[in-house]
Amino acid sequence: NWTPAQIIEDQISRVRDQVGDRHVLLGLSGGVDSSVVAALLHKAIGDQLTCVFVDNGLLRKAEGDQVMETFAKHMGVRVIRVDAEDLFLGKLEGEADPEAKRKIIGNTFIDVFDTEAAKIEGVDFLAQGTIYPDVIESAAAKTGKAHVIKSHHNVGGLPETMKLKLVEPLRELFKDEVRKLGVELGLPYDMVYRHPFPGPGLGVRILGEVKKEYADILREADAIFIEELHNAGWYHKTSQAFAVFLPVKSVGVVGDGRRYEWVIALRAVETIDFMTARWAHLPYELLEKVSNRIINEITGVSRVTYDVSSKPPATIEWE
C-alpha cells in the first residue's frame, strides 16, 4: 500500500524518464483528473508542460477564471486559455438531439485542441487524465460489453494526425486515490472534492437546442444552487448536484399581469458509483431558499422544480 507522496515520487521519475527533455501538451478541463495531472506534471517537468484550457461557453459560472487563477497565477503553470464560446454555440445551433450535441461538442473540442497544439513547437507527448475506471469502460466499449455508452472524449479521442505519445500518470488509480494525490500536490480542497461535471457541460443540461441566453440563465441558477448547498453544509453530502434548463414557458404573476417564463429543475443525488443513485433528500428550507433566490434574482425564470427521480430508471443527467 503506497502513500500519495510515494505515488507522486514514483510517477515524477517515470514521467521524467518517459519524456526526457521533450514537451508535453495537456487538455486542462478544470475537473479533478486533468487538474491532478497538470499539478503532477508541472512538478515533474515544469515548463516542458503546456496546458490548453478550452472555454466552450458551456462551463459553470467563473470556471475559466478559477482554472487560470489556480494554475497560471498561483502555480505558474503555462496555460493557454482558448475562448471558443462562439465557435461551440455556432456549431450547436439548430441541434436538439442529445447524442448529436455530445458529438458536436466532442469533435469541436478536438478541432480546437488540434489547432492550438499545431501552434506549439516541438511537442511529442500528450498527457491525459485517464484513470483506471476510464480504462475499464473503454475496454468494455470496444468489446461491446458495455450496456449503454455515452460518447466520451476522455479516452481514444486523440486526433490521429497528431501522432503524439501518451502520458497517463493516473491510469492505474481510482478516483479517491487521485483526490488524495491532488491534496498532496497542494491543489485547493474545493477543486479536488468538487462534484463531477460532464465533458459536454451545460450542453446536456439545457434540454434540446443550446442557446447563449439559456446557458447564461442556467449558469446563474446553478451557481445559486451550489452556493446554497455549501452554505447549508449539504454540498459534500451529495455526490452530484446541478440545475437543468427546461425550454418551456410557465406562467407567473407579476403585478396585475401574467408573465410566461422559463423553468429550472434542480437535481441532487447520492451515489457511490454513479451507476445507481438516489435523489438527495434535501431539507425543504434549503429548497425554498434556492427557489426564491433563483426566481427573484434571475430574470426570465418563473418556476423551479426539484427532481425526485432515482436511477434507474432515470439517469443522473436529464439528457
Q: Residue from 150, 194, 237, 249 that binds ligand XMP (CB under 6 A)?
A: 150
27 is in an annotated binding site: no
In the shown chain, the binding pattern of residues 171 to 210 toward ligand XMP, with x for contact by CB under 6 A and - for none, equals -------------------------x-xxx----------
Q: Residue from 42, 78, 102, 179 that binds ligand XMP (CB under 6 A)?
A: 102
302 is in an annotated binding site: no
Closest distance to ligand XMP from the beta carbon of 244 (Å): 11
138 is in an annotated binding site: no
Q: Per CB under 6 A, does 307 bind ligand XMP?
A: no
34 is in an annotated binding site: yes
Site for ligand XMP in 217-276 (CB under 6 A): 240, 274
| Integer Cα distance of 220 and 290 in angstroms | 12
Q: Per CB under 6 A, does 296 bind ligand XMP?
A: no
| Helical packing angle, 32-45 and 4-19, nearest 10° | 60
CB-nearer residue toward ligand XMP: 149 or 166: 149
Cα end-to-end distance, the chain, whole Å:
40
CB-nearer residue toward ligand XMP: 18 or 271: 271
CB-nearer residue toward ligand XMP: 64 or 199: 199
Cell triple for residue 127?
Answer: 498527457
35 is in an annotated binding site: yes
The CA distances from residue 43 to 111, 177, 284, in Å, are 29, 18, 46
Site for ligand XMP in 20-79 (CB under 6 A): none
H-state helical runs in the chain: 4-19, 32-45, 63-67, 85-92, 98-119, 132-142, 175-184, 189-192, 212-231, 284-297
Number of residues lying near ligand XMP (CB under 6 A)? 13
DSSP string over 31-76: SHHHHHHHHHHHHHHGGGEEEEEEE-S-SPTTHHHHHIIIIIIIT-
Residues 259-285: b if buried by 16+ CB within 10 A, e if exposed: eebbbbbbbbbebeeeeebebbebeee
Q: Per CB under 6 A, does 315 bind ligand XMP?
A: yes
Closest distance to ligand XMP from the beta carbon of 144 (Å): 18
| Integer Cα distance of 89 and 273 in angstroms | 32
| Integer Cα distance of 31 and 238 in angstroms | 17
CB-nearer residue toward ligand XMP: 36 or 316: 316
Question: Which residues are known binding-site members for ATP?
Answer: 29-35
In the complex, the residues that contact ligand XMP under the rule CB under 6 A are: 102, 150, 152, 196, 198-200, 240, 274, 311, 315-317
